[in-house]
Structure 1
Amino acid sequence: MGFFAFFSVNAQNAELKGTVSDASGPVAFTNVYLDATTLGTSSQEDGTYLISNIPPGRYKLKVTMLGYRDFSKTISIEANAQLKIPIRLTPSSEQLEETVVTGTLKAVSRSESPVPVEVYSPTFLKKNPTASIFEALQNVNGVRPQINCNVCNTGDIHINGLEGPYTLVLIDGMPIVSGLGTVYGLSGIPNSLIEQIEIVKGPASSLYGSEAVGGLINIITKNTLEAPDFAADAFLTGWGEYNLDIGAKIDVSKKTDLLLGINYFNFDEVIDNNSDNFTDLTLQDRISVFQKWNFQRKDNRIFSLAGRFFYEDRWGGELQWTPEFRGGDEIYGESIYTRRWEVLGKYQLPVKEKLVLSFSYNDHAQNSVYGDIAYIADQRIGFTQLTWDKKAGNHDLLLGSALRYNFYDDNTAATELADEVTIPSLFVQDEIALAKKHSLLLGMRYDYDSRHGNIFTPRTAYRFKISDSDILRLNAGTGFRVVNLFTEEHAALTGARDVIIAETLEPERSINLNLNYLKKIYGDNGTFANIDASVFYTNFSNAILPDYDTNPNQIIYDNLDGTSVSQGVSANIDIVFPSGFKFLVGATFQDVRQTENGISSRQILTESYTGTWNFGYNFRNLKLSVDYTGNLYGPMRLPTLGENDPRSPYSPVWSIQNIQFTYKGLDNFEFYGGIKNLLDWTPNRGNPFIIARSDDPFDRNVVFDNRGNVVPTVDNPNALTFDPSYVYGPNQGIRGFFGLRYRLN
């Protein structure tokens, strides 16, 4: 680490060495230093550390590491001494004591946050390596990556059963992703540069505005003290997927440093295991370049500037498709060119009070064709925010003002004129320390949208710290979302169904309640357990949901004249044993449905329950670890094409399971490999086909009556049209993978 440099002194050769470990074995990359000096280092892959050239004296040896209690020991060192001190770390409140910022826009320990925040580290992501964070979230309880199209494989993130447009994605707290870019915001940031991923389930519009209705995902990148000098991670799979992550820390000058990250992914194999003449997995070629500049300023004031460029070329379709057929009606293909760049930063004003200016801007250009239907869109979003953080007595205040600029234009008939709007906002938050164990958070946000007028979103949160090991939280809040359909619904773009907008769409509003209980248990033998359980309820008014059922050839949008409710229970259990065995198990049971005109129906593509697990064991003597990860999804209602559609209207119970072996026997290197989708599950099981009319994607042989309804014929006895929207899981079967990681500190 840059801060802890080896310090050379004449005629003094004392050194201090040892191994840092916990109950499971060696602990790498801990901070080992002599307090109040510049002498320090980081533990290596095998847990060993060495501090050389120490002058004689009395020191306090300190070791810090996220997720562990700080280690401190007073030692005396004589000239030319060679001390060996083994260090045994004890897990702290594990997930409890991590520092989080997403819930309140302030850096607080997780146990002190009145808003429940789930935290996932790069170590979690490594247990099932994927080419993007989007895919990695499949092992997070209550969070599901949803693929929205069998052909182009674009998708979004569902939280507690709510559709992707209800999820806001941020990088370092800045809402740089929305609409067109949700899936792209979760691709292309190397794991080596990620400090942690914070997830808030439930409305957060009082702090973050529109889109943060169902929840949000905040990707927090490392600062330069914690990032490695260089890191590389490369893997390939049996399907021919290649992924490369590179991260580096560069000292530009004495007061300026840079984090550089590059991600490249390629898949160019045409595979059709379900024999429908369509690609099972979209071919992709993408690159992402990320930079984060940090500037040292007087009094440790904040100044950082980051940017990212993303480009992707992806296509899927009939096996005979080549780029010459792009946009034509001879061979069906879906081809998407995406170019996206983002800039974000934070600057603390040079005044006595803590005033922080944050800003972000993104430009998303998409040139895509779905068969012979072109969709060419541009979206630009600018965001700036000024916050004032102030403590007064037992009040911890946060006041802020934000300005958001949205520009959207496409070539569809629904957007005759570009949609351009500027939304100013004011918000205030007060966290009140009522007593030693009780705190209350009150918040309010005001937004003005020229299309919809004044929008108020209040929220409150109560935290009761029953003991150091027991925390109870009650959160209540509201959310709102302003909708642009054509940035959110893939099925609205393919041309497979006509889009009908029944009325002028008003903003969606929601009211949310969440009761959360957090329990940590320390066993006398070193066992640690963490239990996190929640009950949640969200009620939507003016909900805008796609209606696939009224007419199988249409998608009808209007404000729901009734109620839409998401409710359920969720729990995670995390246990670490001294033997080296650890597991994380989670489950969510939910009911997401709409009621209109007295008729209640389950939301389409929403599972009734889900389970996730991660079992790991560390063979210390072999320097080998094994991770078994998986998920389980209960039945969900699927978008069929009417009563005669032979495809099942509900999905079966299905599961994706993986196993990985990681070897850490060489300094700075990790070798890993395993098998993904051990059960070889794909959604075509039990179905005659997945893509309707895949042999006639332009509906040339479909007969319609004068009302537009499909007429059954000998060639089309079930009265179907081409439709790739029947999708609820990945089409990739069992496959092996192998990878290599290298890290230099």
Structure 2
Amino acid sequence: DINGQFTVKSVPPSVYQVLVSSVGYLTQKETISLKAGEALVRTYRLREEALQTDEVVITAARREQLNSEAPVSIAVLGAKDIEVRNIVQLDDALRYTPGVQLSDNQVNVRGSTGFSYGVGSRIQFLVDGVPMLNADTGGIAFNLVPTAQIKQVEVIKGPGSALYGGGALGGVINVITKDFPEKPETSFRSYVGVHPPVRYTEWKQNWAGSQRNRYFWGANISRSEQVTPKLGYWMNANYTQTEGYFQNSDGYEGYLAAKLGYQFSSQLKMETLITSSLTHKNGFVYWASGRDALRVAKTSLLNGSSDNEVRRLAILPVFTFLVNPSVFISLKNRFYGGTTIPIWNGALVERDQWTTGARFGSELQVNIDLKAKRYLILGAGFDQNATNSKRFFGGDDTNFAQPEWAAFGQYEQQLFKKINLVAGFRLDHYEISSNEVVQRFSPKLNVSYTLNPALNLRVAWGYGFRVPGITERYVNNSEFLPVIPNTQLRPEISNGYEAGLKGFFVLPIEDWAGQYDVAAFSNQYTDLVEPKFQNNARAFQFVNLTKGQINGLDVSVSAGRKDGRLLFNLAYLFLDGKDRSDPNNVLPLNYRSKHLLQASISVSPLRRLEVGVDFRYASTFERVDSDFGNFIPDATLHLPTKVWDTRLRYDFGKIQVSLLVKNAGEYYYMERPAILAPTRNFILQLQSNL
């Protein structure tokens, strides 16, 4: 029954072996002897089996499939990975994802992105399959995502425009939120942390705040419930506050999020995600110098801070309709708006200095099961984004928009029970202005071969593109650095190839198993947009500068005991990125590390105790843009990343207590130019699940 009770009647006297099993739990066996007329009662408590099984993913083919069957490289980050590391904001979680590197809050998948101060993401960002790039900058607002309600994060590594359009030049991130539980759940998490003073006396001389501990804290509460067979919901509230570990980095932020689901009939269902955030922070943009790394640059020419209040709201209604067992229709709608308000002398400025951006759109998708392992996907959509900013655009015209229409399709077929063929396309139409239209056709072709149930081979080819955002085209501002507009920007284009294999293995050690993924890839990029100093204008300008090529090897391995008492993960990425803009002077691409290594181990010496260690390594950038060094002191300074994180977690039942040390080795480094990455900090976390 629902309580897990079984009754077996009319069993003849004998000796029997009882086997108790359930998906996700260790199987138990017991031999019993049953006498005539005897009634035996047994209670079995199954332990969770933490063996890394084959995850179900959605993003790779716009339909549910096993990760091992996905025809492209895809990394998956689960809810527990986020929970045990006290992940407050999604970008922190991505630092532990194979093949992914962060430059502050800018995502770099397999070297596709250098650094451009958060403007123009080359990675498409989705929440439950709905695009969520900012309307103004084209960047990602990670603080809008309710981390406590993340089911899993899927990262496609490689061009994905054939399915997801502009922005998927180098990959796709899809955040999948949790479903509604069968039983009501309430969870609460709070934490307090501290950054001790840095070691170097020289850094502490010019900022009084560096002489003491710098504190930060936060709290998160969630409630989820399947109220009736038709109605379900979850709600999530989060608040964080920090003093910052360097000058002008204090502030607070919070978000409210809710997901409502309603089953109108056996065929029609609606789920709506609503999330809003408020961030009020002083912003440290770049330092005074490498020898004065805790103090913001403040001179007559330089202003290394950006103090803002940012308000964001997203409403994502999704309707799904099951026409029949073979035809499935989804309609994904979105409204996403944001306002950035400068703070001057502790107060918000007048409205005419606010920057407001909004985007809205819809996408219709039809999934057709043609039987005999054949699938067809057809779809169309539109997106309208607009931005108003006197502050950043200047001049008389402060309103700009870039509407888009698209159509896409994909056909998938299994051949000879072992070969899976996937072919797809997408046609995008952008209106840049009344006089300029951009159209792009993005095809893809993937082939996978299942050699045996434990080994899958794949080859993939696909196009990617990105239309430069409104800020890149029209920014005209000298607030931090002098930047002038460029209305002649062309779309960025990528062409990617990959060959890989994915499999499972069993170690010659009892109860040990694991999985691996190895991929060799080659991506060509044309017309990459980068900020470049223009001598004649004495200002920076976003220009189509680079023709690049990136070849590499992406390897990930995970292994562990079936009972979850010991788990190990290792990922390595090798990149050979070249700037081939000048055939006679081939250079390394800016802001790319040749080697990236991530490793983690989790050990449970006692049933309720878990100890974990994470290590991240990134080699020094092979090349940095020297233009920034003409304005920002020591902007070309860079060191390799060598960061150790440790955690200790004890489960008291309904309450879990964790002690975490981030950057335990107190290693000083930079993720992007002229700003110190997070220094060593200690965190005490309390979590309760009711």
1:304-323 mapped onto 2 (5 Å cutoff): 304-316=271-283
Residues 733 and 367 (structure 1), Cα distance of their counterparts in 2 relative to 1, 3 Å cut: same
Q: Secondary structure at the match of 2:62?
A: coil
Residues 72 and 203 (structure 1), Cα distance of their counterparts in 2 relative to 1, 3 Å cut: farther
Counterpart contact for 1:370–1:494, Cα < 8 Å: no
Partner of 2:467: 482
What letter is aligned with 1:202? G
Partner of 2:329: 355
Partner of 1:727: 674
Partner of 1:377: 355
1:300, CA displacement in angstroms? 5.5
Q: Given the alignment of the two structures, is residue 249 of structure 1 paired with residue 224 of structure 2, yes or no?
A: yes
Q: Deviations over 1:46-101 (max 9, x none)?
A: xxxxx46x777699976233xx7999999999999642124366666x25x21110
Counterpart contact for 1:549–1:642, Cα < 8 Å: no
Partner of 1:683: 669
Counterpart contact for 1:138–1:144, Cα < 8 Å: yes
1:452-463 mapped onto 2 (5 Å cutoff): 452-463=437-448
> What CA distance in whole angstroms lies between the structure 2 residues aligned with 1:742 and 1:351?
42
Counterpart contact for 2:68–2:503, Cα < 8 Å: no
1:436, CA displacement in angstroms? 0.9
Residues 644 and 503 (structure 1), Cα distance of their counterparts in 2 relative to 1, 3 Å cut: closer
| Correspondent of 2:634 among 618, 622, 647 | 647
1:294, CA displacement in angstroms? 1.2
Residues 627 and 406 (structure 1), Cα distance of their counterparts in 2 relative to 1, 3 Å cut: same
Listed as ranges, the gaps of 5+ residues in structure 1 are: 1-33, 41-50, 148-154, 273-277, 320-325, 685-689, 691-724
Partner of 1:513: 497
Q: Secondary structure at the match of 2:132?
A: strand
The count of corresponding residues between Structure 1 and Structure 2 is 626
Q: Given the alignment of the two structures, is residue 87 of structure 1 paired with residue 46 of structure 2, yes or no?
A: yes
> What CA distance in whole angstroms lies between the structure 2 residues aligned with 1:70 and 1:626?
25
Partner of 2:67: 110
| Correspondent of 1:340 among 312, 316, 319 | 312
Residues 125 and 555 (structure 1), Cα distance of their counterparts in 2 relative to 1, 3 Å cut: same
Partner of 2:56: 99
Partner of 2:154: 198
Q: Given the alignment of the two structures, is residue 158 of structure 1 paired with residue 108 of structure 2, yes or no?
A: yes
1:424, CA displacement in angstroms? 1.6
1:128, CA displacement in angstroms? 2.4
Residues 215 and 297 (structure 1), Cα distance of their counterparts in 2 relative to 1, 3 Å cut: same
Counterpart contact for 1:104–1:115, Cα < 8 Å: no
Residues 459 and 528 (structure 1), Cα distance of their counterparts in 2 relative to 1, 3 Å cut: same
Partner of 1:537: 522
1:519, CA displacement in angstroms? 2.0
Partner of 1:293: 260
Counterpart contact for 1:128–1:658, Cα < 8 Å: no
1:565, CA displacement in angstroms? 1.8
Residues 447 and 57 (structure 1), Cα distance of their counterparts in 2 relative to 1, 3 Å cut: farther
Q: Deviations over 1:118-138 (max 9, x none)?
A: 111111123422321111211
Q: Given the alignment of the two structures, is residue 662 of structure 1 paired with residue 673 of structure 2, yes or no?
A: no
Q: Given the alignment of the two structures, is residue 737 of structure 1 paired with residue 687 of structure 2, yes or no?
A: no
Counterpart contact for 1:501–1:558, Cα < 8 Å: no
> What CA distance in whole angstroms lies between the structure 1 residues aligned with 2:218 and 2:130?
26
Q: Deviations over 1:665-695 (max 9, x none)?
A: x2211100031111212238xxxxx9xxxxx
> What CA distance in whole angstroms lies between the structure 2 residues aligned with 1:487 and 1:70?
57
Partner of 1:8: none
Partner of 2:406: 425
Counterpart contact for 1:308–1:342, Cα < 8 Å: yes
> What CA distance in whole angstroms lies between the structure 2 residues aligned with 1:738 and 1:406?
42
What letter is aligned with 1:199? V
| Correspondent of 1:609 among 589, 595, 604 | 595
Q: Secondary structure at the match of 1:299?
A: coil
> What CA distance in whole angstroms lies between the structure 2 residues aligned with 1:111 and 1:508?
31
> What CA distance in whole angstroms lies between the structure 1 residues aligned with 2:189 and 2:33?
41
What letter is aligned with 1:157? V
Counterpart contact for 1:176–1:361, Cα < 8 Å: no
Q: Secondary structure at the match of 1:544?
A: strand
Partner of 1:638: 624
Q: Secondary structure at the match of 1:349?
A: strand
1:284, CA displacement in angstroms? 2.4
Counterpart contact for 1:441–1:461, Cα < 8 Å: yes
Q: Given the alignment of the two structures, is residue 215 of structure 1 paired with residue 171 of structure 2, yes or no?
A: yes
1:333, CA displacement in angstroms? 4.4
Counterpart contact for 1:235–1:244, Cα < 8 Å: yes
What letter is aligned with 1:615? I
Counterpart contact for 1:193–1:227, Cα < 8 Å: no
Counterpart contact for 1:56–1:79, Cα < 8 Å: no
1:45-64 mapped onto 2 (5 Å cutoff): 51=4, 63-64=22-23
1:368, CA displacement in angstroms? 3.0
| Correspondent of 1:364 among 327, 335, 338 | 338
Residues 341 and 659 (structure 1), Cα distance of their counterparts in 2 relative to 1, 3 Å cut: same
Partner of 1:232: 188
Q: Secondary structure at the match of 1:134?
A: helix
Partner of 2:293: none
Partner of 1:716: none
> What CA distance in whole angstroms lies between the structure 2 residues aligned with 1:548 and 1:146?
21
CA RMSD of aligned residues (A): 3.7
Counterpart contact for 1:190–1:245, Cα < 8 Å: no
> What CA distance in whole angstroms lies between the structure 1 residues aligned with 2:555 and 2:534?
33
1:527, CA displacement in angstroms? 0.7
| Correspondent of 1:572 among 540, 556, 572 | 556
Q: Deviations over 1:13-72 (max 9, x none)?
A: xxxxxxxxxxxxxxxxxxxxx4xxxx14xxxxxxxxxx46x777699976233xx79999
> What CA distance in whole angstroms lies between the structure 1 residues aligned with 2:235 and 2:320?
23
Q: Given the alignment of the two structures, is residue 396 of structure 1 paired with residue 375 of structure 2, yes or no?
A: yes
Q: Deviations over 1:569-600 (max 9, x none)?
A: 11111110368222111111112332223332
1:251, CA displacement in angstroms? 4.6
Q: Percent identity?
A: 17
